[in-house]
Every structure is written in C-alpha cells, then in structure tokens.
C-alpha cells in the first residue's frame, strides 16, 4: 500500500541499542532513514535528537518527559522495546495524540527462566559459595541449603511472567501459590490466596512480577518483611521501587530473610560506565544483576520484531491495537480510497462535526471507525478518492482536534 508520506522521508530513531531485528524490519518496509544509538540520552540531548523524528524507539532507561515529547513536533509514535512504560509520560503522550506501544509478552520466557535459576541458586546458597571459592576459600557445607522440590513458591502478580514462572516451578516439583489484585485463571495446580500477607506467611520463596506505579511503591517494606516466613528468600524482577531496599538489607542482616535476587532498582545507571550503588551490596547470599531479566538474544530479537511491527502497522494502516495512549482500532486495508486519521479530545459532538464537514464537501464515506478512551477519541475515515480532495483541510478545523493525518 502506497502511503501519502513517502517511506524514505520517515525518520526513525532507535535508542539504547534496540535489537537489529527492528532495524531490518523498518528497512524491509522501505524506511531508509533509520538511526540507531547505543545508550540512553539526557533530557536536553533528547530534546535536540527528537526534532523531526517520526518514530522513536527506546528501552527502559530513556526518560520521555513532558518536555521531550513536546519538543518532538513530528513524532507520531513511540515504541518501548521492553515491557514497562513508566519511563514515558503517558498522559502527555495521550494528550498529544502520540501512539505508545510496548512488548508485554516477548521476554516472558527469558525472565521466567532466570527466576527459576535464582530459586535454585539461593536455596543452595550458590552466591556466597562461589564468592568464597574465588577468594581461595572452601565452603563445603549443607547448612541452610535445600532442594526446591516440595518448597512453596509465592508469586506476587500472576500476569504473563508470573504465570510462566508458575508452570516452570511446578515442573521442578514446587508448590505454587499466587496473589493478584485481579481474578486470574490459575495454571496447573497453582492456587490463589486471599491476600499478600497470606502469601508471605506461607511461601519459602517469594517472587515479584507487578507493574510499577504509586499502587506498588514499597509494596514490600519493613512491616511486610516481618510477616514473611522466617528463612524465606525473595526475588524481584518487576520494578525497582516495589521493594524498600534498606528494609530488605536489614532483614537479610538479621537472618530473617536468607537470600535475595534483585534485577531492578529505584535508580539505575544510564550506561555501563556509570557507577552503581545499592544497600544490598556486600550482603551474603544476594544476587544483584543489572536489569537483565529479558536480556537474551531470543527475547530482544522477538521484542524488536514485535514493537517494530506495531509501529509499521500504525504508520501504514492506522491500526492502533496494543497502544497505551491512542484508543485501539483494528483496521482493514482499503483499496482505491483516501484514509484520514483524526485524533481529538474526547468531547461530545466531535464525530458529528467531522461528518457534517464531510457532508458539506459531498464526500462519500466508504468506511468509518471510532474508538475512545477517557481522554481522546480516534476516528479513521475511508473516503471515495473522487470526492475527498478538500477533506484533510476541513478536518483540521474540527473543534477539539489534536492531530490529523492523511494516511493514503
């Protein structure tokens, strides 16, 4: 399908070393202006880089603030080549009509496998024994070392990753319980519990897989650690601010918690040269990793294809399914039509005004699609080519319009 704006003029900027699979997909679709940058950029650097960029790809470290998004006057869509989007100012993106896509499934297996590996390593106290061996010490002992078979794994957040961990854990002979704020269908023999406190009391290992945000900040704090089964271990592969790390360090030093594996932190270095600090450094039987839960070739290649595919689809057809800002529409490709995309504030009468203006121009509407969220509406109109030459300018004048794009 030939789009109104030539593909060779579309500027794509990919930050933080987005996988080459994404670059290949863009170029296979005819987008030749694809720039890749390794590492994250500061706000001031971003404000300069995003000018005249149509598609922007980031990972978890790049912070898309209100200032950055407002500097990107040509930006149509953002692809978060990861699961989380708390690094993006979604309210601002929504208000500007910028579509934001992520990849909620693609690294699920990679994260789940590493969680299972940590379950075994922590219960066998591998970290401290490995460290001792590197120092020339021989710590051969079975004290506080256990099999995972028969142990109870408590999963907090039974979404894509949590449920996958559940399946793998049962394959290892573990008993699985889980807590989620929403009703979830349990897989295998996993059992839901009524409360987080109930899960903490019953679990030998607790693993966290919850989203970030005000509702989960310091979800596990000193009071919750006191309710955790004595001798339990803790794994966090969700978000950095979900755990009070000072309280966790204190619980480990006291012996109440026998070990922890943490992959995400409240503050993470922007690149591999910046120093990293956490209260958990130097503690026994603690595994610290630099946000690598999804850092496998398989996961990153899959994420690259998934997010790039969504961006291409949005640019070429207007389909917005999977967007966290623009309301979701699945759109068919129409031949011999003009397709105009209209994003507007969600106010009464906008659709009526759109159709009134088109009617005054004697435009023959061949198809029309509408979806809204609490803030904006998204209308896609397919028109007869013979009658739609003035439609674009007319729709720009509709009250509450945020942006209008002539797709083809």
pLDDT for 32-49, tens place per residue? 999 999 888 999 999 999
Number of folded domains that form the chain: 3
In a shared domain, residues 100 and 112 = no
Domain identity same for 147 and 273:
yes
Q: Are residues 56 and 172 in the same domain?
A: no
| List 291, 338, 344, 405, catalytic entry | 291
Last residue of a domain, one of 237, 270, 288: 288
Q: What CATH code is carried by the domain that includes residue 61?
A: 3.40.50.720
Q: What is the pLDDT of residue 365?
A: 94
- Cβ–Cβ < 8 Å for 280, 259: no
Q: Are residues 129 and 214 in the same domain?
A: yes
Full residue range of the structural domain in which residue 385 is found? 329-408
**135 and 269 within one domain:** yes
**Residue 372 shares a structural domain with residue 397:** yes
CATH, residue 378: 3.30.70.260
Q: Are residues 141 and 265 in the same domain?
A: yes
301 plus 322 within the same structural domain: yes
The DSSP annotation for 169-234 comes to HHHTT-EEEEE-SS--PPPTT-EE-S-HHHHHHH-SEEEE----STTTTTSB-HHHHHHSPTTEEE
Q: What is the pTM of this model?
A: 0.83
Residue in 268, 316, 400, 403 annotated catalytic = 268
Q: By the 8 A CB rule, do 64 and 78 touch?
A: yes
- The yes-or-no answer on residue 291 being catalytic is yes
From the number of C-beta atoms within 10 Å of its C-beta (0-12, 13-18, 19+), residue 113 rates as: middle
Residues 49 and 198 in one domain: no
Task: Answer yes or no: do 112 and 249 share one domain.
Answer: yes
Specify whether 38 is located in the same domain as 112: no
Question: Is 280 found in the same domain as 193?
Answer: yes
Q: In tens digits, what is the pLDDT along the chain, a chain of 408 residues?
A: 567 778 999 999 999 999 999 999 999 999 999 999 988 899 999 999 999 999 999 998 899 999 999 999 999 999 999 988 989 999 999 999 999 999 999 999 999 999 999 999 999 999 999 999 999 999 999 999 999 999 999 999 999 999 999 999 999 999 999 999 999 999 999 999 999 999 999 999 999 999 988 999 999 999 999 999 999 999 999 999 999 999 999 999 999 999 999 999 999 987 888 999 999 999 999 999 999 999 999 999 999 999 999 999 999 999 999 999 999 999 998 888 999 999 999 999 999 999 999 999 999 999 999 999 999 999 999 999 887 779 999 999 999 999 999 998
pLDDT the model gives residue 2: 63
Give the active site residue among 224, 239, 344, 405. 239
């Amino acid at each position: 399908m030939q789009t109104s704006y030539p593909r060779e003029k579309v500027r794509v900027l990919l930050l933080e070393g987005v996988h080459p699979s994404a670059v290949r997909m863009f170029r296979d679709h005819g987008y030749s202006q694809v720039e890749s940058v390794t590492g994250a950029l500061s706000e001031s650097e971003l404000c300069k880089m995003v000018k005249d960029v149509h598609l922007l790809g980031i990972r978890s470290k790049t912070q898309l603030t209100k200032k950055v998004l407002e500097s990107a006057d040509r930006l149509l869509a953002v692809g978060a080549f990861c699961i989380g989007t708390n690094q993006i100012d979604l309210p601002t993106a929504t208000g500007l009509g910028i579509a934001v896509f992520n990849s909620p499934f693609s690294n699920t297996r990679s994260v789940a496998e590493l969680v299972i590996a940590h379950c075994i390593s922590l219960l066998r106290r591998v970290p401290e024994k490995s460290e001792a061996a590197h120092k020339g010490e021989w710590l051969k002992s079975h004290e506080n070392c256990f099999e995972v078979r028969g142990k109870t794994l408590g999963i907090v957040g039974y979404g894509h990753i949590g449920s996958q961990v559940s399946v793998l854990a049962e394959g290892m002979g573990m008993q699985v319980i889980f807590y989620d704020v929403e009703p979830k269908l349990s897989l295998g023999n996993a059992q839901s519990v009524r409360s987080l406190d109930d899960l903490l009391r019953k679990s030998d290992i607790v693993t966290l897989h919850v989203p970030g945000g005000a509702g989960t900040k310091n979800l596990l704090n000193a009071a919750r650690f006191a309710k955790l089964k004595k001798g339990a271990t803790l794994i966090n592969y969700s978000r950095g601010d979900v755990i009070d790390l000072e309280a966790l360090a204190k619980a480990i030093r006291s012996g109440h918690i026998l070990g922890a594996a943490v992959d995400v932190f409240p503050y993470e270095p922007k690149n591999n040269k910046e120093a990293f600090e956490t209260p958990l450094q130097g503690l026994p039987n603690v595994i610290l990793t630099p946000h690598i839960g999804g850092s496998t070739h398989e996961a990153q290649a899959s994420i690259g294809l998934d997010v790039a595919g969504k961006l291409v689809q949005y640019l070429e057809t207007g389909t917005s399914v999977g967007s966290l800002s623009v309301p979701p529409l699945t759109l068919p490709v129409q031949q011999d039509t003009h397709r105009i995309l209209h994003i507007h504030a969600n106010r009464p009468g906008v659709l009526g005004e759109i159709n009134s203006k088109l009617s005054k121009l004697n435009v023959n509407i061949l198809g029309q699609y509408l979806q809204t969220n609490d803030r904006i509406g998204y209308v896609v109109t397919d028109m007869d080519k013979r009658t739609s030459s003035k439609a674009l300018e007319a729709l720009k004048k509709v009250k509450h319009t945020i942006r209008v794009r002539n797709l083809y």
